[in-house]
Amino acid sequence: MDTNNYCVIMAGGVGSRFWPLSKNEHPKQFLDILGTGKSLLRQTFERFNSICPVENFFIVTNSIYKELVLEQLPELDQSQVLLEPLRRNTAPCIAYANYKIQKRNPNASIIVTPSDHLILKESKFLDVLTEGISFVQNEEKLLTLGIQPSRPETGYGYIQVSKKSIGKSKDIYPVKTFTEKPHHDLAKIFYESGDFFWNSGIFIWSLKSIQEAFNKYLPDVNNLFESGLDKLDTKQEQDFIDNIYPECQNISIDYGILERSNNVYVYCSEFGWSDLGTWGSLYEHSEKDNNENAVQGNNVMLYETKDCLVNVTADKLVVIQGLKDYIVVETDNTILVCRKKDEQEIRKIVNDVKITKGEKFI
């Protein structure tokens, strides 16, 4: 195992589209969404552990989730859990991790990944990571993993690639354009063209390359973290981070750097990826009964019900009759019944609940 390999897991989101199972105090990355006995965060850590030594992991999360992270990843030291006082999107959290890594290993190669994705073909995925790391080592290149689209999906970002590949596998291409969540007609054009790939949000680069990119495109963010380099890994670190984070620009790494850089490449592959961003994506990857219902719960009785996702507490008796294409989710104090085709409305529903019913349901 290469001791220069580092992994940064971004685990600070609230997963509002998985409400009411995912709530502020216990969001989806800490849940066993797939019924495997392991949380999504735990699965993510184990997925990369064959490439990166345990001591080379950093988990960037909100300060309120510190104990959850350490409980689910007991192998880690507290210094490997980077605590954000508030959410500022992906660019600041990556900048924070960069400087923590810089203090340890200026020759690092870094994988940055969300904490809540599904990878079905893990062997293929590890091959992609290995080649991706080799591609960016000692080169000023920023690499993102692109996924061969299987449908004209409107919930993902798309990357258009150049026709001419580079790299040993002939699956790495220069990036031409980024498009974030297109409408259906445009997504259909992208899907049919063959030039566009889904943006997985998984990145690989050398520490040197990403630091140079921050210096060039997000100098204000970079300078904030650089100003306290001597405070990192000391008792002053958290106070320093708490003070500068409100000053950080709220911006994604995609908008802030990747869409502006001319040295971005995409590794185009297919390894059974899903961002598990919605109940619909969970339904797609769940086992189903003879009526295409995906059910989690020990006492669920279905009558004349088809194509539904049902996720309820294990001991609760739930009887459903006459539904088709619905999401039914029950937690300790909330029940959601929603048409699958309207699941994008869940974020609005969560906001309405917060305004009219208060934080206890969120």
User: In this structure, are 219 and 289 located in the same domain?
Assistant: no
Structural domain boundaries, residue 305: 279-357
Q: Residue 36 gets which letter from DSSP?
A: S
User: In this structure, are 266 and 290 located in the same domain?
Assistant: no
User: In this structure, are 76 and 123 located in the same domain?
Assistant: yes
Number of domains the chain contains:
2
User: In this structure, are 229 and 148 located in the same domain?
Assistant: yes
pLDDT at residue 109, as a whole number: 97
In a domain, 198, yes or no: yes
Choosing from 274, 290, 312, the residue where a domain stops is 274
Report residue 94's pLDDT band, with 50, 70 and 90 as the boundaries: very high
Choosing from 255, 274, 293, the residue where a domain stops is 274
User: In this structure, are 246 and 300 located in the same domain?
Assistant: no
In a domain, 187, yes or no: yes
Q: Residue 148 gets which letter from DSSP?
A: -
Who contacts 123 (Cβ-Cβ below 8 Å, separation ≥6)? none
Query: Hey, what amino acid is at 49?
Result: N
In a domain, 189, yes or no: yes
User: In this structure, are 266 and 215 located in the same domain?
Assistant: yes
Residues 22-36: b if buried by 16+ CB within 10 A, e if exposed:
bbbebbbbbbebbee
Average pLDDT of span 163-185:
82
In a domain, 69, yes or no: yes
pLDDT at residue 20, as a whole number: 93
pLDDT at residue 169, as a whole number: 62
Least confident span in 41-50, 175-184, 306-315: 175-184
User: In this structure, are 214 and 307 located in the same domain?
Assistant: no
In a domain, 362, yes or no: no
CATH label of the domain that carries residue 140:
3.90.550.10
Choosing from 274, 294, 321, the residue where a domain stops is 274
- Cα–Cα distances in angstroms (integers) from residue 300 to residues 19, 111, 288, 320, 329, in the given order: 20, 41, 14, 8, 12
In a domain, 353, yes or no: yes
User: In this structure, are 170 and 227 located in the same domain?
Assistant: yes
Q: What is the pLDDT of residues 198-237, one digit of tens each?
A: 999 999 999 999 999 999 999 999 999 999 999 999 999 9
User: In this structure, are 257 and 324 located in the same domain?
Assistant: no
Q: Is the peptide bond before 174 cis (omega within 30 degrees of 0)?
A: no
Bigger pLDDT: 36 vs 4: 4
Residue (of 190, 158, 159) closest to 176 by Cα position: 159
Q: What is the pLDDT of residues 7-38, one digit of tens each?
A: 999 999 888 889 999 998 899 999 998 888 99
In a domain, 292, yes or no: yes
For the entire predicted model, the pTM comes to 0.92
In a domain, 144, yes or no: yes
Report residue 114's pLDDT band, with 50, 70 and 90 as the boundaries: very high
User: In this structure, are 311 and 203 located in the same domain?
Assistant: no
First to last CA, the chain: 42
User: In this structure, are 168 and 303 located in the same domain?
Assistant: no
Residues 353-362: b if buried by 16+ CB within 10 A, e if exposed:
beeeeeeeeb
User: In this structure, are 182 and 92 located in the same domain?
Assistant: yes
Bigger pLDDT: 291 vs 184: 291
